[in-house]
Amino acid sequence: MTICGLDFGTSNSTIGVLQNNQQTMVPLEQDSDGHWHSTLPSALFFGFEADQISFGRDATNRYTNGEPGRLMRSMKSLLGSASMADTTQVKNRFYTYDEIVGFFVASLKQQAEKFLGENSPALESVVIGRPVYFNDTDAELDSTAEEHLAAIARLAGYKDVSFQFEPIAAAMDYEKNVTSEELALIVDIGGGTSDFTLIRLSPERHQQTDRQSDFLANHGIHLGGTDFDRHLSVTSIMPEFGMGMPMAARPELSMPGHYYFELATWHRIHLMYQRDVLLELNQLRLDLSNKAPIDKLLDLLKRKKGHHLAALVERAKIELSSCDATEVDLQSLFSDGSDLTINNCLLTQEQLHLSLKRDMNKIFRALDETLTQAGLQHKDIKTVFTTGGSTALPMVQNCIAEAFPNARKVAGDLYNSVGSGLLVEAIKRYQ
């Protein structure tokens, strides 16, 4: 039986397999410099010219290079959302979101099987990671999301499908290097969710299959890096495109904000390209005395540059995790196929801080709730293990340092801890 651990992430996915009895993260994609990456960005591109679907970096590159087609990112955010049952039109076909997630999950499986070689049997048993909550307010949507993901995995060819919470998987990865018993707080802040586990770890416990008595608390919140992108975009970039502009006839009213929120939300950007949205915006344009910002918005939407804009904001956020200020290259959005011009925009760490303040408060309140569930106080925590791309934010690191001054901080692999721990779990369950 061939087993694997699958971390289907909002932003990045990984898959861990046993190769010659060694736990290995599958090299999933080679970039243009020839480097192999164990992460596949959770992106998919329907290319209209060759009628083919591409994945990962290849998908985003094709879109950025202007190839005709449709880019989709953050598909996981649809799982557990009210839009989960919707279909979406790509050229002249309608796809369910399950089908689209299915293409991606199947491509990960194929890539892993290719890596294992044609003499190796197909992957049959998988432990898939899941956030503590796909939906943190609606229990029914939450369990439906897991059912959908299980059905998608079976359709992709897996026979045994089971789940583990992502922060518990990260704990299993960390525990490989634990030398004596400890109580650890695991913090996984990714693209879509922030998840926490309080768990007792030790080398002896690592060998046991039933860990139920070691889990002190699991908790999470549906808030992560893609929300940070949205909030940074809405506060700092969208005003360039008319957000907040007063309407001429009734200055007490301003341009409706929901258009800008959609445009700044990775998995909803395509909704802004719809004909009726463009018609509504053209109608609103008539009521603005300064039409330049909305003209830029309309031009950007007609040329389907929404994902390009979101990628610029995400890049700025990442750059601000290691420098005080960065320039957002808005000019690149209008460099081809447009007569309009726009100035680049300077973003500072201070602006990022302000735009993420509320998110940080919510995340750290959820973290406090995790401790309350376990009946523990901050001072009881001896180790904080962090993983997930968003834990690279200095704001996150500073909040952790402040909340747990006496705990040892262990920075895990930002992208591979969950996938690697899911494989540990798969070995216990299926081997």
Ligand X SMILES: Nc1ncnc2c1ncn2[C@@H]1O[C@H](COP(=O)(O)OP(=O)(O)OP(=O)(O)O)[C@@H](O)[C@H]1O
Q: Does 190 bind Mg ion (CB under 5 A)?
A: yes
Distance CA 209, CA 165 (A): 15
Q: Looking at 38, 164, 193, 218, which residue binds ligand X (CB under 6 A)?
A: 193
Tokens of 323: 């420098």
By rule CB under 5 A, what string of x and - marks binding of each residue 147-186 to Mg ion? Answer: ----------------------------------------
By rule CB under 6 A, what string of x and - marks binding of each residue 304-333 to ligand X? Answer: ----------x--xx--x------------
Taking CB under 5 A as the binding criterion, the range among 1-9, 113-121, 280-288, 399-407 that sits at the site for Mg ion is 1-9
Q: How many CB atoms lie within 10 A of CB 330?
A: 19
Q: 256: which residues sit within 8 A by CB, 6+ positions away?
A: 284
Distance CA 259, CA 76 (A): 22
Q: Does 130 bind ligand X (CB under 6 A)?
A: no
Distance CA 81, CA 104 (A): 19
**61 contacts 73 by C-beta, under 8 angstroms:** no
When CB distances are held under 5 to 8 angstroms depending on the partner's kind, the choice from Mg ion, ligand X, none that residue 77 binds is none
Count of alpha carbons within 13 Å of 244, Cβ hemisphere only? 7
Phi, psi for 232 (deg, rounded to 5): -65, -40
Taking CB under 6 A as the binding criterion, the range among 26-34, 288-296, 341-349, 386-394 that sits at the site for ligand X is 386-394
Q: Does 9 bind Mg ion (CB under 5 A)?
A: yes
Minimum separation from the CB atom of position 9 to ligand X (A): 2
Pick between residue 166 and residue 299 the one whose CB is nearest to ligand X. 166
Tokens of 195: 């998840």
Pick between residue 11 and residue 24 the one whose CB is nearest to ligand X. 11
List binders of ligand X among 221-280 (CB under 6 A). 224-226
Q: Which amino acid is located at 266 in the chain?
A: W
Footprint on this chain of ligand X (rule: CB under 6 A): 9-12, 76, 166, 190-193, 224-226, 314, 317-318, 321, 388-390, 392-393, 414-415
